[in-house]
Structure 1
Amino acid sequence: MRGRDRGAATILVLAIGLFLVAAGMAAAGVGAARVGRHAARTAADLGALAGAAKAIHGPEVACGRAERFVVANGGRMASCVVEGLDVVVRAEVTVRALPGLDARAVATARAGPIYALPE
């Protein structure tokens, strides 16, 4: 009877270790995705604010300034639209969630002047 249980603890420890490694990799992937999303939001927000400050000079100037801020924050500007004095910027950030697995985090931000509400 004693000979049949030989090595069972080793298999159990290996299974638990494999589970912990898989859980750690999943948690790292989720963490990387969250960091990427925050980076995309930051890049889009700052790009929209920078572009809105120059919106009065036209879409080329506003979007050029917005793109400089998006790139400086590690993103890529997917689109920039100037609507009056409002600037809408869409930024993308490449996220490496796990080795060999790249994804894109995308965020959109709008910035412009505050208009007084009619009373």
Structure 2
Amino acid sequence: MPGTDHGRERGGATVCLLAVGLVLLLSGLFGAAVAAARLGRQRAGVAADFGALAAASRVTAGEQPACATAAELVRANGARLVGCRLDGLDVLVTAEVTIRPVPGLVRTASVTSRAGPVRA
């Protein structure tokens, strides 16, 4: 038909729209992965903090009972106890949480907390 450009369209706008959609999808996946990593680190931190506080209450009984108490609380908070040791009257507890931000990607978040008596 004279005066129309229907025969000259090649789908350029469709390709651009698909590219923009792909960029938005990848940005969303990246944002979800970052949020999952932050949440995992926070969970590990809470578990380590509670485990260290619980162990500090049992420090006079020795390392074995203190670390057993820490392991109980760390596990109850959805983490895994990686390390527990006494440093004088202080207790150092390391908790670890496994994170799966996107399918096929597995990471771990590890946090160490210290608890003990207040020093003036």
- TM interval, shorter chain, is over 0.9
Q: Which residue of 2 aligns with 1:29?
A: 33
Aligned with residue 93 of structure 2, among 75, 89, 98:
89
The amino acid that maps onto 2:103 is P
Which sections of structure 1, spanning at least 5 residues, go unmatched? Answer: none
Corresponding position of 2:61: 57
Q: Which residue of 2 aligns with 1:38?
A: 42
CA–CA separation in structure 2 for the residues paired with 1:12 and 1:3: 19
**One of 99, 107, 110 as aligned partner of 1:106:** 110
Compute the displacement of 1:6 (Å). Answer: 2.5
Partners in 2 of 1:73 and 1:65 — Cα distance?
13
Unaligned residue ranges in structure 2 (runs of 5+): none
- Between the aligned partners of 2:8 and 2:76, the Cα distance in structure 1 is 63
The 2-side partners of 1:51 and 1:4 are apart by 75
Q: Give the share of equivalent positions with the same residue, in percent.
A: 50
Q: RMSD of the alignment, in Å?
A: 1.1
Out of 8, 12, 21, the residue aligned to residue 8 of structure 1 is 12
The residue number in structure 1 matching 2:24 is 20
Who is 1:75 aligned against?
79
Q: Quick check: which has more Rg, 1 or 2?
A: 2
